[in-house]
Amino acid sequence: MLAYVQSVAQVSAGTILGITMLTSSLVAGGLVGLALSFRNLPDVRVLRNYIPSETSYIYDMDGTLLDSLHDEANREVVDLNQISPNLKRAVLAIEDSYFFSHHGINPSGIARATLANMAEGQTVEGGSTITMQLVKNLFLTPERSMSRKVAEAVLSLRLEQVFTKDQIMEMYLNQVYWGHNTYGVQTAAKSYFNKPASELNLAESAMMAGLIQAPEVFSPFVNYQTAKQRQLLVLDRMKKIGWITAAEAEQAKATPLQLGEITSFRASQAPYITDAVIQELTSRFGKEAVLQGGMRIQTTINLELQRKAEETVREGIASIRSQGVYADQMALVAVDPRTHFVKAMVGGVDYSQSQYNRAIQALRQPGSAFKPFVYYTAFASGKYSPDSTILDAPVSYPDGDSYYTPQNYDGGFAGAMTLRQALAQSRNIPAVRLGQEVGINRVVEVSRTLGIKSPMEPVTSLPLGSVDLTPLEMAGAYATFASGGWQSETTTIAQVTDSKGNVLLDNTPRPQLVLDPWAVAALNSAMQDVINRGTAASARLDRPAAGKTGTTSSERDIWFVGYVPQLATAVWVGNDNYSPIGKGATGGGFVAPVWRNFMLKALSGVPVENFKPMSNFVKP
């Protein structure tokens, strides 16, 4: 009986071996012939220039991650030598342990799968190698048919003729899907374990390798116990084939795992900023490049300062509403005058309620905050100084078929006064007179020089802010005053590189002197009086500061824009439907305190600097 059983066993083993060898021969020989008939298959050589879609990352000035941008594929590509050896071995052990000995297909593996599927009457086991999986992901549809399987095998043979094993392994590990819209080993490692792929230990590597076959089902974020079972399976497989010792397997099984978080489609840390950055990059490079190009975008933003700006806006709008008037929105933009880098930007009170970025999209009238452009133009003409006299008295100017008669906010007249006094008290009639004397077209030219790009008509009322501008434009223009007339392009982006470090955009400041130094010093002197003894006393700081209030007719828009040598900030308050904020709502009474609150936070620990006096320069 024992001899019979041994005989049957030998026959069975021989039969299986024969079937395996026959199947292997048929498969190998058949594929060579079929390769000739699959001439319409893709040319695998295109992968020499293949660049997979990559996630783009947005950082603040200090390297803190603000946001990540991607389509469906959240991926960061890395070189093979940047991937932990633990992970490479774990993936090979569970997916294709004969990877380095076959030539793209594994006939014995196919034979085993064929026998198992025939026995069950359905597909219960696959014979795909890593090369075949890569081919399927890059070139073929997910359908399960014999013709597609043969095409997969043919392309795998071709792929192994063109690329080395290391190249194929690198492409595979960067291409494979790991669940939760996460593609590639680097992004998956950062998501599952909050570390780069190079730092994965054996326990982490085994768990990640175990996810590949069904990442959403096996994910530890979905079911940790299932993921743990898959990890044990991988470790046992590695031990069985001798790639780790029993002791190493047991140690890995007992190693505690600290999970990260799902990183795909997470919210931005500074959404108004990142929206502005995306808008600028999309207009320059196109949407596809931004979402799939693997850009590394260093913004000009300081996240700590951004947090202070957001806090200031929340506190400010609550304070304004508590004073018996109603404003539904506020915007704040802070610009460094030395670089014209935007350091903070808040486009609204609550991004979750409204994604409209009023800092860069809302065109609102600046009111008297526009007057400094007129006063600078007067000083730059060489005909005026802050102590020159101007008349605050009734005046009318032709305006089409009628006349334009400007009025002061209080309805009265102050008579003869210095330009310094007129600006500090925000008298309207002197500003209109000055605009006519220096020429409205010249005021428009100066505004363009200061970076104002919004449409602007040379109307008589322009000195009173009868033009629609954005808070970003106002902050950038005032930053040029703060810098003594030196200007770079105002931007939210410092630099953009690709994932390899190649520079795509470099916004290193290149300051140019665009204003007359004496005229700027004269304006800075007069605008300090606005805070020290004028309409913006509530903006006073513990250091020299200059600025200007702005209030439009019917109190629809109220502003304060001010600066010290190190920072210029514009704050706007209003309603999106242009309804009045309330009687008596002025920039000096309501917005200047908000500006002061932010500047005190922003300048904490920053040394006090003085503006350069007029005596340092020659009058034009």
pLDDT category, 25, cuts 50, 70, 90?
Answer: very low
Catalytic residue among 128, 205, 368, 426: 368
Catalytic residue among 76, 95, 160, 170: 95
Evaluate if residue 96 carries a pLDDT over 80.
yes
Predicted pLDDT at 12: 38
pLDDT category, 2, cuts 50, 70, 90?
Answer: very low
User: Residues 52-72: what's their mean pLDDT?
Assistant: 92
* Residue 120 annotated among the catalytic residues of the structure: no
pLDDT digits (tens, 9 = 90+) for 247-276: 999 999 999 999 999 988 888 999 999 999
**6: enclosing H helix or E strand:** helix 2-37
Predicted pLDDT at 26: 43
CB burial class (10 A; 0-12, 13-18, 19+) of residue 118? Answer: exposed
pLDDT category, 504, cuts 50, 70, 90?
Answer: very high
CA-nearest of 271, 273, 267, 269 to 341 is: 273
Evaluate if residue 143 carries a pLDDT over 80.
no
Evaluate if residue 43 carries a pLDDT over 50.
yes
Predicted pLDDT at 18: 43
User: Residues 118-122: what's their mean pLDDT?
Assistant: 56
Q: How far is CA 51 from the centre of its chain?
A: 22
**2-37+71-254 topology per CATH:** Penicillin binding protein transpeptidase fold (1.10.3810)
Predicted pLDDT at 119: 64
Predicted pLDDT at 14: 42
User: Residues 422-434: what's their mean pLDDT?
Assistant: 97
User: Residues 81-107: what's their mean pLDDT?
Assistant: 91
Cβ atoms of 549 and 570 within 8 Å: the answer is no
Evaluate if residue 7 carries a pLDDT over 50.
no
pLDDT category, 104, cuts 50, 70, 90?
Answer: confident
Evaluate if residue 21 carries a pLDDT over 60.
no
The neighbouring-strand residues paired with 237 are none
pLDDT category, 142, cuts 50, 70, 90?
Answer: low
Predicted pLDDT at 150: 75
Cα–Cα distance measured from residue 533 to residue 320, given in angstroms and rounded to the nearest whole number:
23
pLDDT digits (tens, 9 = 90+) for 285-299: 999 999 999 999 999
pLDDT digits (tens, 9 = 90+) for 202-238: 999 999 999 999 999 999 999 999 999 999 999 999 9
Residue with tokens 């004496």: 518
User: Residues 2-23: what's their mean pLDDT?
Assistant: 38
Structure tokens at 144: 């399960």
pLDDT category, 121, cuts 50, 70, 90?
Answer: low
User: Residues 492-516: what's their mean pLDDT?
Assistant: 96
pLDDT category, 53, cuts 50, 70, 90?
Answer: confident
* Residue 101 annotated among the catalytic residues of the structure: no
For all residues of the chain together, what is the average pLDDT? Answer: 89
Predicted pLDDT at 146: 62
Torsion, CA 59, CA 65, CA 67, CA 69, rounded to 10: 80
User: Residues 109-134: what's their mean pLDDT?
Assistant: 64
pLDDT digits (tens, 9 = 90+) for 519-545: 999 999 999 999 999 999 999 999 999
473-476 LR contacts (CB < 8 Å, sep 24+): 474/333, 474/366, 474/369, 474/559, 474/561, 474/570, 474/572, 475/333, 475/334, 475/335, 475/342, 475/561, 475/568, 475/569, 475/570, 476/335, 476/340, 476/450, 476/451, 476/568
Evaluate if residue 548 carries a pLDDT over 90.
yes
> Global pTM?
0.82
Evaluate if residue 321 carries a pLDDT over 70.
yes
Predicted pLDDT at 110: 66
User: Residues 133-148: what's their mean pLDDT?
Assistant: 70
Cα–Cα distance measured from residue 178 to residue 95, given in angstroms and rounded to the nearest whole number:
14
User: Residues 471-492: what's their mean pLDDT?
Assistant: 97
One-letter amino acid at 33 equals: G
Predicted pLDDT at 38: 57
Evaluate if residue 33 carries a pLDDT over 50.
no
Evaluate if residue 103 carries a pLDDT over 80.
yes
Cβ atoms of 187 and 75 within 8 Å: the answer is yes
Predicted pLDDT at 507: 96
The neighbouring-strand residues paired with 567 are 564
Predicted pLDDT at 11: 34
User: Residues 408-433: what's their mean pLDDT?
Assistant: 96
Structure tokens at 242: 């001798």
One-letter amino acid at 280 equals: E
pLDDT digits (tens, 9 = 90+) for 173-199: 999 999 999 999 999 999 999 999 999
Evaluate if residue 324 carries a pLDDT over 80.
yes
Predicted pLDDT at 394: 95
Highest mean pLDDT among 71-75, 345-349, 550-554: 345-349
Q: What percentage of the chain carries pLDDT values higher than 90?
A: 74
